[in-house]
Structure formats: C-alpha cells, structure tokens
Amino acid sequence: MTTGTDTYRRDLVQALRAGNVPPERIGEIVAEVESHVADTGEDPREAFGPAREYAAGFAVPPSARSRVSLWALVALGAVCGWLIAEGVLGVFRNEPVLGLPEGYALVAGWLLWVPAVVVQARRHAPVRDPRTGRSLSPGRGRVVLAMTVVLLLLMVVTALAAALTSA
C-alpha cells in the first residue's frame, strides 16, 4: 500500500462518513477500491476519480431525525460552552452565574458535555475492513479525546482572557 493509496483511503472514509454511509458499507467500498488497486496497479484517483466525487455516488440523504439530532447536539454544545465560559469568568471575578455559585456552572457545563460526547462517539462507529477486520478509521476514543481537548482549550482561553482583563 502506497502513501497515495493510504491518503485516498483516508479521504474516502471521511467523505463517505460525511455522506451518511453506514460504517459496514464504507468498509465494503474501501475494500473494493483497495482490491481493484492491488489487482491492476492503478492509482485510485485515476481509477475512481477524487475521493469526494466517488463517495458522492454512495451518499445517503440525512433523515429528518438525524438533522434534528444534529441541531440538538449543536445547541447542547453551545450551552455547554457558555456555561463553562461563564463559570470560568465567574471564578476569576468571584461572581455568581445565574444566581448560583460559579462552580455550579462549571459542573453543569461538564455534565451536559457528557451526552454530547456519547452521541458523537456513537455516531463514529468504527469502520472495519470486511476482509481482515482491521480498523479503517480512528476509534471512538479519539472522538472523545478531541471533544474533551476542545472543551479544555475553551476553559484555558477563557481563563487567560479573564486574567488579562482583570489585571
């Protein structure tokens, strides 16, 4: 497997995920591409075209339920971010948030973050190669880690901003 094929596979998996293709089907599509490339020696871009264009042929329109859950997830993330930012600012300014001690806002933000992380982790079920069982995508742990790092960065940036403005 060459670096070009590895890059194509990664791009194809991402494009298929973006197109709401089920993980099992993604594995099958990638296996078909890899088998073709191995049998013919062709570059995948020459054989199938750009990964995004090829993946578009397999895209599944999002259901009304998935659109609603996406917007609910975005709203929940915004509330989490707001609560955590307000909680951090409240700690630095020694002010309550919504009439409650600032620590409550921090705890509420983190607690509301848990369902968002769980939903995202469930949406990113692993993509497996049906021939070998090998994982073709980052695991759920990376999704959880990435989301947690974003939240921690929000806290750090808010704390820095609060420290700089109160000095």
| Tens of each residue's pLDDT in the chain, 167 residues | 456 788 999 999 999 988 989 999 999 999 999 999 999 999 999 999 999 999 999 999 888 887 888 888 889 889 998 998 898 888 888 889 889 888 899 899 989 888 888 887 777 788 888 888 888 877 777 778 888 888 888 888 888 888 888 76
Angle at the Cα of 75 from the Cα atoms of 72 and 78, rounded to 5 degrees: 150
Within a 10 A sphere around the Cβ of 8, how many other Cβ atoms? Answer: 23
The amino acid present at 73, given as its one-letter code, is L
Spacing of C-alpha 73 from chain mean position = 12
CA gap 113, 154 in Å, rounded = 13
Measure CA of the first residue to CA of the last residue in the chain; give whole Å. Answer: 56
